Amino acid sequence: MAVLKPKVLRFESLPSTNTELARLASEGAAEGVSIVADEQTAGRGRLQRAWSSPKGAGLYFSILLRPAIPQNHWPLITFMAALAVGDALREASGVQTDIKWPNDLLSGERKICGILAEAIETPAGRAVIVGIGINLTQNAFPPELANVATSVATSTGRPPDRERILAALLDALSRWYSLLDEPGRIVDAWSNRSSYAIGKLVQVSNGDDLWQGTTAGVEPDGALRLRTASGEIKLVRAGDVYSVRPSD
């Protein structure tokens, strides 16, 4: 059982907490070293996108993990992070979340948190930086995203307590990390918390291809199973998933 002991370093401003933590990891930082910044000037999202990170509007957090599990199970690290964020938001602010494959947290069908896991080579071996961005207020994202994004403040109608959410997140990450060597439990818990796991009509785009189908669960390594109209099962390992209304 992996034991995680987070140690948090705080910064007023950084280009990106993931980038700074990768630098520390390359200098030998230990598992559990974490970074929180009040703002990011070059926050990064999945698929080479920017992550808007104005001062005080979000929780911008990264943690260094050195998982002792087979490489083909590493995609489950983002699953365990999504489970931990879900716990933290529920425990610290009463926000109930859904998980959209692979690891977006939704509240009321709008995105409230994104997760960016990046594998890196370090002198102490392969490691992974898990970056978590939680929208605390509506200022976290540009107004044109208001129909697809939301924040803790909007979901609760109260000012968000960043420190309480952070403390709950550290506890939850430690709990879920200890289960990483039981992939079945992570996949089952993730599937139970995701309306996208089974029976959802979706479109999947990976930049080159666009598929439509109904979700049919996730593989033990985290790939999404998509049943197309012809009955074929496609395994999706990267891309964006969009919910489709049957009449669309």
- Tell which positions 177-236 bind ligand BTN, by CB under 6 A: none
Nearer residue to ligand BTN within complex by CB, 46 or 162: 46
Nearer residue to ligand BTN within complex by CB, 98 or 181: 98
Please name the residue ranges forming H helices in 141-195: 152-156, 162-177, 183-193
Nearer residue to ligand BTN within complex by CB, 60 or 196: 60
Minimum separation from the CB atom of position 43 to ligand BTN (A): 4
**Binding to ligand BTN by residue 116, rule CB under 6 A?**
yes
- Where does this chain touch ligand BTN (CB under 6 A) — which range of 11-19, 185-193, 206-214, 228-236? 11-19
Minimum separation from the CB atom of position 247 to ligand BTN (A): 28
Return the ∠ at Cα 243 (arms to 57 and 146), rounded to 5°.
Answer: 25
**Binding to ligand BTN by residue 40, rule CB under 6 A?**
yes
Locus of tokens 């200022």 = 139
Which residues have C-beta within 8 Å of that of residue 116, sequence separation ≥ 6? Answer: 18, 44, 45, 46, 51, 130, 131, 133
Minimum separation from the CB atom of position 231 to ligand BTN (A): 32
**Interface with ligand BTN (CB under 6 A), residue from 25, 44, 74, 186:** 44
**Binding to ligand BTN by residue 60, rule CB under 6 A?**
yes
**Binding to ligand BTN by residue 74, rule CB under 6 A?**
no
Torsion of CA 67, 114, 223, 196, to 10 degrees: 140
On whether the CB atoms of residues 89 and 152 are closer than 8 A, the answer is yes
Classified as helix, coil or strand, 240 is strand
Identify the burial level of 181 via C-beta atoms within 10 angstroms of its C-beta, where 0-12 means exposed, 13-18 middle and 19 or more buried.
Answer: middle
**Binding to ligand BTN by residue 107, rule CB under 6 A?**
no
**Interface with ligand BTN (CB under 6 A), residue from 16, 78, 107, 154:** 16
On whether the CB atoms of residues 203 and 244 are closer than 8 A, the answer is yes
Residue 20: how many CB atoms within 10 A of its CB? 18
Minimum separation from the CB atom of position 54 to ligand BTN (A): 12
**Binding to ligand BTN by residue 18, rule CB under 6 A?**
yes
Q: How far apart are CA 58 and CA 114, in angstroms?
A: 11
Binding residues for ligand BTN (CB under 6 A)? 16-18, 40, 43-46, 49, 51, 60-62, 104, 114-116, 131-133
